[in-house]
């Protein structure tokens, strides 16, 4: 009705104020979780330009990426507890709970050892510990590889809405695979004791091997997770590659039975081969060679550099790619 209409000068004043609010919104820094507070990490992936629409956020800095990783590591009680509860929820209303992981590993290791031990005419007293240590370590590493490829995609909703460091998602992947490995490690202990494997001071290499595997698992998630978000086909390639890597890693075949040329063709290009040898040798009473140790450390350093650099560069764009 005419009586309810505002005067011309008041309507003009209201339109001017609305334009001012819109301009402030366009020029303000907005993150995926709301307004950015002073000192908060900028996780925003979309910037509203004056003409409307959205443009991609600029590449992040190395300093912000390292700060994100540092903050994620400081929040370890939260993501470790969330990972543990998520793992327990997979086995709800079962009698054994997460211990079903151990039972499954025992069954598979026993079948694999018996089958290939007979086919390759191996002494089962040495072949069973060889397969058990190799398969459980391989499962741990491949779990971090496949989990790292999907750690960002699987948490897309949380990344777009919830504030917090993005590094917690690769960290949760490493935690999940490590908790499962902790259950599987009991199988290794049982096999080493049952078959009277002579372990000695070389067992001191085992913490080094575990540390290298964990660091590589985190580094993989830092660069492979964002890469699979940007290029979705990479995730499918990783899934296919993970299945093939089982045959090109000395899990059930003995590397010392091959020539140097055969070993180079089959697994010399495979980084998991070197990490597996560093892990397996102390548990079988031996020590990893200097060459294997040097290659493992070198690959770890390259992996960490690549992971931190690519995560830092792509971190502000992840919400936009999701």
Decide if pLDDT at 274 tops 60.
yes
Residues 26 and 136 in one domain: no
The answer to whether residues 156 and 39 belong to one domain is no
Q: Are both 173 and 302 inside the same structural domain?
A: yes
Same domain, 92 and 235: yes
- 3-state SS of the chain is CHHHCCCHHHHHHHHHHHHHHHHHHHHCCEECCEECCCCCCCCCCEECCCCCCCEECCCCCHHHHHHHHHHHHHCHHHHHHHHHHHHHHCCCCCCCHHHHHHHHHHHHHHHHHHHHHHHCCCCHHHHHHHHHHHHHHHHHHHHHHHHHHHCCHHHHHHHHHCCCCCCHHHHHHHHHHHHHHHHHHHHHHHHHHHCCCCCCHHHHHHHHHHHHHHHHHHHHHHHHHHHHHHCCHHHHHHHHHHHHHCCCCCCCCCHHHCCHHHHHHHCCCCHHHHHHHHHHHHHCCCCCCHHHHHHHHHHHHHHHHHHHHHHHHHHHHHHHHC
Asked if 10 and 129 sit in the same domain, the reply is no
Whether residues 224 and 78 share a domain: the answer is yes
- Do 33 and 133 fall within a single domain? no
Instruction: Please report the pLDDT score of residue 56 as a whole number.
Output: 55
23 with 98, same domain: the answer is no
Q: Which of 14, 39, 56 is the last residue of a domain?
A: 56
Looking at the structure, do residues 138 and 43 belong to the same domain, yes or no? no
pTM of the model as a whole? 0.79
Q: What is the domain extent for residue 177?
A: 62-321
| pLDDT one-digit tens code per residue, 114-140 | 888 888 888 888 899 999 999 999 999
Query: Are both 35 and 98 inside the same structural domain?
Result: no
Last residue of a domain, one of 25, 41, 56: 56
Least confident of 29-43, 68-82, 183-197: 29-43
Q: What's the number of domains the chain is made of?
A: 2
Do 213 and 191 sit in the same domain of this protein? yes
Whether residues 295 and 190 share a domain: the answer is yes
């Amino acid at each position: 009705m005419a009586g309810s209409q505002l005067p011309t000068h008041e309507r003009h004043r209201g339109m001017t104020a609305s334009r001012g609010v819109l301009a402030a919104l366009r020029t303000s820094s907005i993150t995926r979780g709301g307004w950015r507070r002073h000192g908060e990490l900028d996780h925003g992936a979309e910037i509203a330009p004056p003409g409307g629409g959205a443009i991609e956020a600029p590449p992040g800095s190395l300093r912000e990426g390292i700060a994100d990783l540092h903050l994620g590591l400081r929040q370890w009680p939260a993501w470790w507890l969330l990972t543990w509860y998520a793992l327990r929820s997979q086995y709800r209303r079962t009698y054994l709970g997460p211990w079903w992981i151990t039972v499954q590993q025992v069954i598979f290791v026993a079948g694999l050892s018996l089958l290939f031990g007979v086919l390759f005419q191996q002494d089962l007293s040495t072949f069973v510990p060889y397969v058990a240590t190799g398969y459980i370590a391989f499962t741990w590493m491949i779990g971090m590889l496949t989990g790292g490829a999907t750690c960002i995609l699987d948490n897309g909703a949380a990344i777009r809405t919830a504030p917090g460091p993005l590094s917690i998602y690769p960290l949760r992947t490493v935690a999940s695979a490590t908790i499962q490995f902790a259950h599987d490690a009991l199988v290794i202990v049982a096999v080493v004791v049952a078959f009277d494997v002579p372990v000695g001071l070389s067992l001191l290499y085992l913490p080094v091997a575990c540390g290298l595997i964990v660091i590589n698992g985190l580094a993989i998630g830092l660069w492979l997770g964002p890469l699979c978000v940007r290029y979705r086909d990479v995730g499918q390639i990783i899934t296919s590659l993970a299945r093939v890597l089982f045959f090109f890693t000395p899990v059930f075949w003995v590397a010392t039975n091959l020539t140097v040329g055969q070993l180079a063709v089959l697994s010399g290009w495979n980084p998991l081969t070197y990490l597996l040898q560093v892990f397996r040798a102390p548990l079988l009473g031996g020590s990893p060679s200097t060459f294997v140790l040097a290659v493992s450390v070198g690959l770890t350093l390259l992996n960490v550099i690549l992971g931190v650099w690519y995560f830092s560069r792509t971190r502000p764009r992840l919400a936009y790619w999701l």
